[in-house]
């Protein structure tokens, strides 16, 4: 990925505007991350969409949404994307004249847009499955707890996945920044702080795999009118905290 970054950031003339430079940084991140994202979504579409529909046709409907079994995957994959941003791109980009401030702003934009697109793709997956299930007369029961009770509630599906993914990206971003900036032991000591965006979102939304155990313990999520704004604020603070930690960071020499 470093070669793609270098190619996209090498030709930055001294007079280039901040807006143009920012767009080029975002393009470099997008180009560098594209292979990983394409492979991930190819696996998801094959394993949970195509594979799920094949299972349903062979069994004449299992009574459950196969796409729903993959709901844990996007947030943890997105956390890994957030972790990888700094070690993958920072050295090459700063060497080409990109400031740490601009790098962190670009990373925040990149991660936010990625979360929104992931939520859209997940909505589309549910709708494709719902269309086929309705056509065949199959039940689309959800295996996991969600903000939505039906896959026709597109707004709630989008909100759930956008919030979960961006908060886990913020946690990944903090993990990547703290370990890279502070070293292993101090980064390890910062793990509880880095996990706050993801943990807060899980406890505020109470959806997916954690929803069942928390409900059995008698814990129920607060009103969405409270939970959603708090998740947005916590995720934004996580991205901003990484931005602040990154500012005085000395560069490490590129390996190889």
CB of 153 closer than 8 Å to CB of 161: no
Helix (H) or strand (E) segment spanning residue 58: helix 51-59
Helix (H) or strand (E) segment spanning residue 4: helix 2-9
Distances (CA, A) of 114 to 84, 128, 206: 14, 21, 22
Report residue 64: phi and psi, to 5°: -130, 155
Q: What pTM was computed for the model?
A: 0.85
Distance from C-alpha of 49 to C-alpha of 70, rounded to nearest angstrom: 10
What is the three-class DSSP state of 209? coil
Residue pLDDT, tens place only, 123-161: 999 999 899 889 988 888 887 888 898 899 999 999 999
Give me the pLDDT at residue 59, please: 84
CB of 234 closer than 8 Å to CB of 167: yes
Rg (CA), the chain: 20
């Amino acid at each position: 990925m470093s070669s793609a970054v270098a190619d996209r950031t090498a030709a930055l003339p001294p007079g280039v505007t901040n807006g143009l430079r920012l767009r080029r940084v975002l393009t470099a991140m997008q180009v560098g991350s594209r292979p990983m994202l394409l492979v991930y979504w190819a696996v998801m579409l094959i394993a949970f969409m195509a594979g799920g529909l094949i299972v349903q046709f062979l069994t004449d409907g299992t009574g459950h949404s196969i796409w729903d079994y993959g709901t844990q995957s996007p947030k943890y994959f997105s956390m890994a994307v957030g972790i990888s941003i700094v070690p993958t791109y920072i050295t090459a980009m700063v060497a080409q004249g990109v400031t740490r401030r601009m790098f962190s702003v670009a990373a925040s934009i990149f991660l936010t847009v990625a979360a929104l697109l992931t939520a859209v793709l997940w909505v589309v997956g549910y709708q494709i499955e719902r269309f086929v299930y309705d056509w065949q007369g199959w039940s689309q029961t959800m295996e996991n707890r969600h903000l939505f009770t039906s896959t026709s509630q597109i707004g709630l599906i989008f909100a759930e996945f956008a919030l979960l993914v961006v908060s886990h990206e913020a946690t990944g971003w903090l993990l990547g920044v703290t370990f890279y900036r502070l070293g292993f032991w101090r980064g390890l000591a910062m793990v509880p702080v880095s996990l706050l965006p993801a943990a807060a979102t899980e406890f505020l939304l109470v959806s997916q795999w954690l929803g069942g155990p928390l409900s059995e313990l008698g814990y129920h999520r607060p009103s969405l009118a409270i939970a959603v704004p708090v998740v947005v604020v916590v995720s934004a603070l996580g991205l901003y905290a990484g931005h602040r930690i990154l500012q005085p960071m000395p560069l490490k020499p590129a390996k190889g």
